[in-house]
Amino acid sequence: MYYSYNHFFELKKILLEKQRKEAHEGVRYITNINKDNMELVRLLIDVGIQIRHVKNLPPMSFGVSEKETAATIEKMQGGKKLQSLLISNDPLYVTHFTSIFEELWKRGIDAPDRIMSVEEGSDTTNIEIIDNPRGALRLAAEIVGSAKEEVLRIYPSVNALRRQVRVGALDLFGKLMNRGGKVRMVIPSDDKELKSILDEVNEAGISPVLSSQLDIRSVDKSLQTHIGIIVVDRKESIIVESKDDTKDSYFEAAGLAAYSNSMQIALSYASIFESLWKQTEMYEQSRTYSRMQKEFINVAAHELRTPVQPIIGLADTLYSKAQDIRQKEALEIIFRNARRLQRLVEDILDVTKIESDSLNLNRERFNLEEVIEDAINESDNERMKQ
């Protein structure tokens, strides 16, 4: 851009004058706008040249018109003179460079907007899309390796963490913790899966001390997603798509990734992480309360079963010795309700066994007529009470 200004600025002004008379389509530039060239960009805009900013440009400078193209791979710092230049009027070259320019132009940011972001100090923000898993893994390793204080990691699934263990990605976390940094992870899993993956982490070669510092918590499996998130020092972030979670290889399972050094984006992801982290605490509390409740029910059921057995036994003994019909009827009521209470206790105990995966099913013969008769008698007794 400096070279063009130094040597062709007067020619460009003639072309712009023709444009005002609708005899020319005008002049457009694409460049990387920064603090060093911002004033020149303003000057060129003032005379009518259209300029857009593109961060990652091809490793060459070129110009193209409807009839001719010129290109060079020289950097031309400060507008120094060219030593080599490729010039062609071949329609294929003209069409090729025109298509490159138009594609870059579509991606570009208008110069006034770019200048404003440079002046506001937000020009360092970068969002990069990585379309291959190896590049994503390499970039993730770089930003985790640069961490100074903290890494927050949300895994989309248990399998995603397993794949990370296999490619040695957790070694970087170990290095950070050796430097005094912290690593926290959230993963959708149940207790058995979490224990299994922690065993794999230990087997991966991380020392017991570091393994104990690696804070991993599980959240409800319904929160399983297809996106993994890494936040480094709350300043940088990278999200990685899980394309096929059934694959054992990270490179087959991962899809697109997006990197950003925007602090606002990193803080947003960190907020999501902290929300899930608090949810794990509530999830753990609810599991503790549920466990306590089950233990209480189990103890209460056993305590109830203890006095029921002698009641049934004594009622049966008295019934066999009773001569009076009314006494027998009264004992039948006692015996029937005691058995009913016994069945209720057994049902409660069965429920606790089902929830703890320890219920054993038994096949046995029973008297269906007796069961029906007992049910009818209990129903009759309930009606009589009413």
CA 143 to chain centre: 17
For the stretch 355-377, pLDDT in tens is: 766 677 788 888 999 889 888 88
Q: Where are the alpha helices (DSSP H) in the chain?
A: 2-20, 38-46, 91-107, 111-120, 133-145, 158-166, 170-178, 191-203, 208-213, 250-253, 263-321, 325-355, 368-385
8 A C-beta contact, residue 71 and residue 57: no
Q: What structural domains and CATH numbers belong to the chain?
A: 2-120 (3.30.870), 127-261 (3.30.870.10), 288-385 (no CATH)
Rounded to whole angstroms, how far apart are CA atoms 34 and 41? 9
Per-residue pLDDT reduced to its tens digit, 100-149: 999 999 988 999 998 988 887 765 667 788 888 888 888 888 899 899 99
In degrees, rounded to 5, the angle at the alpha carbon of residue 329 between the alpha carbons of residues 326 and 335 is 140
CA 19, CA 4: separation in Å to the nearest integer? 19
SS3 167: coil
User: Which DSSP string do the residues of 172-207 spell out, in sequence order?
Assistant: HHHHHHHTT-EEEEEEE--HHHHHHHHHHHHHTT--
Question: Residue 174 forms beta bridges with which residues?
Answer: none
Work out the mean pLDDT of the chain and round it to a whole number. Answer: 83
248-253: average pLDDT: 87
For the segment 313-318, the average pLDDT, to the nearest whole number, is: 84
Task: State mean pLDDT over 287-314.
Answer: 76
Query: Which amino acid is present at 106?
Result: K
CA distance 355 to 332: 35
Shortest CA distance to 263 belongs to which of 308, 233, 291? 233
pLDDT in the model for residue 296: 75
Interval 215-247: pLDDT, tens:
888 887 777 788 999 999 999 999 999 888 888
Average pLDDT for residues 21-43, to the nearest whole number? 90
pLDDT band per the 50, 70, 90 thresholds, residue 192:
confident
Per residue in 325-346, pLDDT tens?
888 888 888 888 888 888 888 8
Question: Residue 229's pLDDT is what?
Answer: 94
Which CA distances in Å does 337 have to 119, 279, 299, 373?
A: 86, 46, 21, 14
- pLDDT confidence of residue 209: 47
- Mean pLDDT, residues 313-325: 83
Q: What is the pLDDT of residues 153-180, one digit of tens each?
A: 999 988 888 888 887 777 888 888 888 8
Q: Under DSSP, is residue 252 helix (H, G, I), strand (E, B) or coil?
A: helix
Tokens encoding 190: 């149940």
**Beta-carbon-side half-sphere exposure of residue 106 (alpha carbons within 13 Å):** 5
Cβ atoms 91, 37 nearer than 8 A: no
